[in-house]
A and B are shown apart, each in its own frame.
Chain A
Amino acid sequence: MDALREWLARVVAFVRRRNRDQDFDQELSSHLDLAIQDNIRRGMSEEEARRSALISLGGMQQARELHRETRGLPLLDSILQDLRYGIRTLRSDASLAVFAVLIIGLGVGASSVVFNVVNALLLRPFSFRDPERLVWIANGTSTNLSSQTVQVVNLQELRAQSRSFAGVAGFFPFFIGHGDVRLTGRGEPERVTVVPVTDDFFPLLGVQPATGRLFTADECRSGSGDRGFKTALLSHGFWQRHFASDPAIVGRPIVLDGEPATVVGVLPESFDFAGMFAPGSRVDLFVPFPLSPESNRQGNTLALIGRLKAGVSLETAQVEATVIGGRIQPRPGTPGGDWRNGFTPVLTSLRDRVSGTLRPALLVLTGAVALVMLIVCVNLSSLLLARGSAREREMAIRIALGAGRRRLIQQMLTETLALSCSGSVLGLVLAAAGTRLVAGFEATSVALLQHVRVDVQTLGFALTAALLTGLVFGLGPALRVSATDPHGALKRGEHRASDGRHRSRTRGALVVSEIALACVLLTGAGLLMRSLMRVLDVKLGFQADHVMAIRVDPARAQYPTREARAAAQTTYLAEVLRHVRVVPGVETAGLTDALPLGENYGWRLWSAGAKGQVYEGGRGLPAHPRIVDDGYLSAMRIPILAGRSFAPADIASAEPVVIVNQTLARALWPGQDPLGQVVIINRRERRVVGVVQDVRYFGHERSAENEFYLLFSDKNFGSGNSTDLVVRSAGPAMELAPRVRAALRRADANLPATEFRTLPNLVDKATFARRFVVWLTGGFAVFALVLAALGIYGVISYSVSRRTQEIGIRMALGASPGGVQARVLTQTLVLGVVGMIFGAAGSWVAARALRGLLFGITFSDPATYAGALALLAVAALVAGYLPARRASRVDPLWALRAE
């Protein structure tokens, strides 16, 4: 209690210290008066009385300081004093202060942005209830979505038999794209993306609606199977965009694909389904996915998310799920066994599923930014050391006057911390801008990237970074300077206070380590950049330039027969094409059910077998169907390697045809001519009329899989759900967009307004993560290179200025300017070469860790190493050349007179 009271009193006294000082001065003067009068009364002369009074008081200033120390907060007091002094010193050396603040700002800014990204993607818990207990349940280890998903009956079995899960829910992942369902009835007709989910999907995640309610179990049971949504939940974004955040929408009907459905609720803003499971796209509506015999017959349809019971580990759950998976294996011949697919549960934590693949890249970024901060610290350390030797006399005088070592260190650290904190303020500003930029990337394929933001944690991080930086770069010079030997330092003249051998060696070592660190960053960034270039060099199998696409799905109206429906759709699509093809500027146009690098439709997996061939475990090889029209291949410029493309005649022809890609041709008829062969696709025969080049459907870094092309007009397979119109134009694609849109309106007045996508954009999006990492590491590497060059420049130019006299004498004795220049450059080169040797070794180690991220090159790629070293050598020479030139221009007369 007393201690608290005393502290409070001290704080008050500290705050009101000016007032207290005046008060105490009055008290002291009255003390002196009293003492002097007393002394005079005892017979002293007035002068003697004053002297004696002061002696017994122990000095006015001492009494004041003692009073202040006892009364207030002495540590804070001295820090404030140091700060004032530091700011004064820094002001007198403004260029150093500005430089330090600038590079700390850049360093802290960069690392804060990386921290924000890492935080959003890897650290910050998902906004679900107990997110660490959520697991992704895949079906097998294939990355193919069709085989990762699970059949309804298998979900039901897993739910019934498992004791590890508190619940298992699923969603239908194949719909996630750019508008599948027509929304009409309210406002502009629009294509919306609808995700069907099982009844317990939201409760399992712990997501509560912002308004309204979730689906009832009843609504999830009564669905008619294929389509016909009775109820819908709105995503927050869609509710804001389409319904202007109107809360009255809850309970109102909307029309989805011509069928009425009731909006039962709006999901909260924090629930970002797309950001997590389908980055770069948007999700508008959720509808119930019925677990019914009808939905079961559709095969593997559900992506599963399970919630572990409390205390159950992922491993335990995996073991149990594997057992269940084995128990419910399909048994052909048993009732129902024919239409049951296999289920091999593979469990991963939801976090790993969502951002696990990015972890290595993020670790690389973290490492890179740590290196950058290290270089910043080393650079500043070396600068402060240089300044320290200039301040040696000041320190020597302070020590001689009795300043303690701790006090000097405190003073130096206060200065560096003031620098690093101001730098961090700049860093935070930069970080805010950078974070905004990162979160704003539209063409992102990175989950959760849009959740990157500046928050309290960023502040905490920047503050920590500032303190650490200040301590790291300040402590060395502070210790060094405070250990100054006052005797020696004062004896040396001001201008001759040359560095000891030791100190210049320290600075040399610092520069060497800067070069080495910069070398590691340059090599790493170089390897990643060359990988990116290799990725961009990958032949995608089509030409994206000047191509744009727009969804033109035929209406899903009810038709009496399948044939009637197909006919109506064919007519509709023909009409669309007829109108678009006559638009001036349009070269060719075609239709496809799935764009390369597009969305998940491409994951559909059928079987394709050569006629007469027997296949293990099925009727053919797994292959991806592509449903197109006769204009698609030429619009995409997919090269025909053998045979021919689809022709208009094929549409009416009696014999249905197919075109296969290289990979499938090789797989089905190794060493034979595929042309004219018959493929059996889902029990139907199709004759091969052409072979096309492989298209990298799933991204640059995934090799092509078996693919075959069928026509929309194919009577067995043709009725596609999704249809993209592909338009190749003579000029930049988007310039044509308004005219194409107008043409589409002529073909179908009710066509919903949907955005055009350009294929170059899709290509960009596919390489986004890689480009993102390359841009950041590249930026860091350039920054590091500049810092290293500045470091070299600083050291060499300092040593030249210290040795002006020596150089003058040499030149007076006949040394040529060229010789002097060469000597300085040699000194630079020695530093550079030593740094590069260490750097190359460090790069080798770092590059090994990068292996997983490289594409098309090895981690020991000689060109990259050579390039990085060459860049460093050039930077070192440039940095050394300027001081060398200055050295060669020293006027011997002037230099000697300056003595």
Chain B
Amino acid sequence: MTDDKLDLIQGTLDVMVLQTLAAMGPLHGYGVARRIEQISGNRILLNQGTIYASLVRLQHRGWIRAQWGTSENNRKAKFYEITRRGLKQLASETEYWQRLTDVVGRVLSTAGKEVK
């Protein structure tokens, strides 16, 4: 593993997939993977296979739905689209993430000071 690439924390991939679908509209699996890689500036160590596991999970929970369609270069591909429940879920998860990073960040910075 290269040092400058980030390992994904369990569960974060699902939120990123939801966010990507919410922002970009219907996308196929490859598109989702590329989009996440691009936005993260290739800083995330993404095994593209895991995207599909995440898509299945989200689909099972009813947050996204899938449909076969035709891609921009006329290929058959499966397109995923966020659902209304998915949007709700995304909102609550985003809020949760922001609170969590906020708290974790604060704790880490204070703890760091005291050690010094």
Contacts and interface: CB of A to CB of B under 8 A. Distances in A.
Contacts of B49: 57-59, 62-63, 66-67
Given A9-B60, A34-B30, A35-B30, A26 B76 contact: yes
B94 interface: no
B73 interface: yes
Interface string A164-186: 00000000000000000000000
A501 interface: no
B66 to A, nearest CB: 9
B62 interface: yes
Interface in A1-18: 2, 5-6, 9-10, 13
B60 A66 contact: no
Interface string A15-32: 000000001101110110
A188 interface: no
B60 A27 contact: no
A62 B71 CA distance: 25
B28 A31 contact: yes
A30 B61 CA distance: 24
B57 to A, nearest CB: 6
Interface string B39-74: 000000011111011101101111000000001010
Interface string A39-70: 00000000000000000111100110011011
A410 interface: no
A37 interface: yes
Contacts of B50: 58, 66
A38 interface: yes
Contacts of A485: none
Interface in A67-94: 67, 69-71
A30 B71 contact: yes
A30 B77 contact: yes
B48 A57 contact: yes
Contact of A27 (B31, B62, B78): B78
Contacts of A62: 49
Nearest to A23: B78
A464 B30 CA distance: 50
Contacts of A57: 47-49
A33 B74 CA distance: 11
A58 B28 contact: no
A182 to B, nearest CB: 78
Given A58-B50, A59-B49, A30 B76 contact: yes
A31 B62 contact: no
A34 B53 contact: no
B75 interface: yes
A59 B47 CA distance: 9
Nearest to B68: A26
Interface residues of A, number: 29
B57 A70 contact: yes
Given A35-B30, A58-B47, A5 B60 contact: yes
Given A38-B34, A66-B53, A67-B53, A31 B60 contact: no
B61 A31 contact: no
Contacts of A37: 73
B60 A10 contact: yes
Interface string A485-514: 000000000000000000000000000000
For the residues of B in contact with A, the DSSP-based class is helix
Contact of B48 (A5, A23, A56, A70): A56
A63 B28 CA distance: 16
Contacts of B34: 38
A765 to B, nearest CB: 67
Contacts of B77: 27, 30-31, 34
Contacts of B59: 9
Interface residues of B, number: 26
A10 B59 CA distance: 11
Contacts of A28: 52
A37 B78 CA distance: 17
B56 A31 contact: no
Interface in A369-420: none
B56 A70 contact: yes
Contacts of B62: 2, 5
Contacts of A63: 48-49, 52
Given A58-B48, A67-B52, A34 B71 contact: yes
Contact of A34 (B56, B60, B75): B75
Contacts of A9: 59-61
A63 B29 CA distance: 12
Nearest to B62: A5
B32 to A, nearest CB: 10
Contact of B29 (A2, A27, A70): A27
Contacts of B53: 66-67, 69-70
Contacts of B75: 30, 33-34
A34 B60 CA distance: 25
A66 B76 contact: no
A785 to B, nearest CB: 57
A37 B28 CA distance: 15
Contacts of A71: 56, 60
Contact of B52 (A10, A26, A27, A33): A27
Of A5, A34, A69, which is in contact with the most chain B CB atoms at under 10 Å from its CB?
A: A34
A6 B34 CA distance: 27
Interface string B11-26: 0000000000000000
Contacts of B46: 56
A28 B76 CA distance: 11
Nearest to B76: A30
A30 B28 contact: yes
A589 B30 CA distance: 104
A244 B62 CA distance: 64
A66 B71 contact: no
Of B31, B49, B76, B78, which is in contact with the most chain A CB atoms at under 10 Å from its CB?
A: B49
Nearest to B85: A2
A35 B37 CA distance: 13
A58 B50 CA distance: 9
Interface in B58-107: 59-62, 71, 73, 75-78
A57 B37 CA distance: 13
A341 B113 CA distance: 100
Interface in A465-490: none
A63 B53 CA distance: 8
Contacts of B76: 26, 30
A67 B56 contact: yes
Contacts of A27: 28-29, 52, 77-78
A591 to B, nearest CB: 87
Interface in A431-447: none
Given A30-B76, A34-B31, A58-B47, 19 more contacts: A5-B60, A5-B61, A6-B60, A6-B61, A23-B78, A27-B29, A30-B71, A31-B77, A35-B30, A37-B73, A56-B33, A57-B47, A57-B48, A58-B50, A62-B49, A66-B50, A66-B52, A71-B56, A71-B60
5 contacts: A5-B62, A6-B57, A9-B61, A13-B56, A31-B48
Interface of A: 2, 5-6, 9-10, 13, 23-24, 26-28, 30-31, 33-35, 37-38, 56-59, 62-63, 66-67, 69-71
The 10 A-B residue pairs with the shortest CB-CB distance in the complex, in nearest-first order: A63-B49, A9-B60, A58-B47, A70-B53, A58-B49, A34-B30, A30-B77, A31-B30, A6-B60, A57-B48
Interface of B: 28-31, 33-34, 46-50, 52-54, 56-57, 59-62, 71, 73, 75-78
